[in-house]
Amino acid sequence: MNTAVLIGQGPEVTALLARADRLPKGLILFETNLSRVRKHVRFPLVNLFNTTSAPTMLAAQEVSRVVAVGTLRPANPRVKGAEIEQLKRLLREITIAKNANDGTRIYIHSLLRPKLKFPAVRSVLPFLFARKTVGINPKPDLLAKTLQQHGRSGGCHTVTVSEESIGIFRSRAGEPSTLFNCCLFPEKLEQLHRNKSVKVFFFDRRCTILVEYKRMAVYARKNKLTLQSFN
């Protein structure tokens, strides 16, 4: 049986596509009709607004598992006829989640979950994640305090603990890493450091995709930043 990789937008998708011809056997990349963002690379299209064709198409490809990589949100979605009702359902999920990417992933999960499994992305695409513990200028006591005070927060956000501005990347409490992932990449690291004076970055290895880690490590050491993983 195969695993479908639904691709969205973002640097993690660029990193994935750079290795598209070297992916393990059994992984199939799919675009969705949420938007059309790639002009030169085309993959099979999954219609997420048709409750019959989406599962049927994946079944035809002998897909038993699904993961999603990148930001997924409706942007000029291609819908017609009865599909408009499914678009309205998606928009309701986004309203409830208060985040377009999260709401879209919840919608996809509810659409495909009855027949398909959602494994952790890290178990399917391990090269997108840290292979071992990361500890550049580690601050274990501050990490413990941060998780204690903000353990239920998730996604990518900044907090202040012990007068330190901290960037934290993790899934929300109660939300599985099979569905929600964060992405940390050089431009994000540099932006938070320069614009928000963030000097400490904590990330959950289970659900944080790292893009160009070596470049981030060089920047962190040069600027005396903390880049530390947990879990």
List pLDDT tens digits, range 170-214.
Answer: 876 556 556 778 899 999 999 999 999 999 999 999 999 999 999
Looking at the predicted structure, is the pLDDT value of residue 143 above 90? yes
The mean per-residue pLDDT over the stretch 146-153 comes to 82
What pLDDT score does 191 carry?
96
Handedness of CA 209, 213, 219, 225 (dihedral sign): positive
* DSSP-based three-state secondary structure for 73: coil
CATH number of the domain bearing residue 15? 3.40.50.20
Give residue 160's identity as a one-letter amino acid code: T
Number of domains in the chain: 2
Looking at the predicted structure, is the pLDDT value of residue 65 above 80? yes
Residues 220 and 191 in one domain: yes
Residues 122 and 9 in one domain: yes
Residues 173 and 213 in one domain: yes
Residues 29 and 100 in one domain: yes
Question: pTM for the whole thing?
Answer: 0.89
Q: 31 versus 225: which is more confidently predicted? A: 225
Q: How far apart are CA 26 and CA 223, in angstroms?
A: 42
Confidence grade of residue 76 (pLDDT, cut at 50, 70, 90): confident
Residue 54 sits at φ, ψ, to 5 deg, of -60, -55
Residues 113 and 137 in one domain: no
What pLDDT score does 201 carry?
98
Residues 15 and 39 in one domain: yes
Domain termination residue (choose one: 88, 107, 126): 126
CA angle (210, 220, 194) in 5-degree steps:
95
Residues 88 and 19 in one domain: yes
The mean per-residue pLDDT over the stretch 104-129 comes to 91
Residue 74 sits at φ, ψ, to 5 deg, of -70, 130
Token pair, residue 164, equals 């330190």
Domain termination residue (choose one: 72, 94, 126): 126
Closest to 27 (Cα-Cα) out of 130, 118, 120, 125? 125
What pLDDT score does 145 carry?
95
SS (H, E, C) 165-207: EEEEEECCCCCCCCCCCEEECHHHHHHHHHHHCCCEEEEECCC
The mean per-residue pLDDT over the stretch 212-217 comes to 98
Give residue 107's identity as a one-letter amino acid code: Y
Residues 225 and 187 in one domain: yes
Residues 137 and 185 in one domain: yes
What pLDDT score does 28 carry?
96
* DSSP-based three-state secondary structure for 128: helix
Highest mean pLDDT among 40-54, 75-89, 200-214: 200-214
- Give the range of the structural domain holding residue 207, as residue numbers without chain letter: 130-230
Looking at the predicted structure, is the pLDDT value of residue 230 above 80? yes
Q: What is the CA radius of gyration of the chain?
A: 18
Residues 106 and 213 in one domain: no
Looking at the predicted structure, is the pLDDT value of residue 124 above 60? yes
What pLDDT score does 208 carry?
95
Q: How far apart are CA 206 and CA 7, in angstroms?
A: 19
DSSP 126: G
Residues 122 and 205 in one domain: no
Domain termination residue (choose one: 103, 126, 149): 126
Residues 77 and 141 in one domain: no
Q: How far apart are CA 140 and CA 134, in angstroms?
A: 12
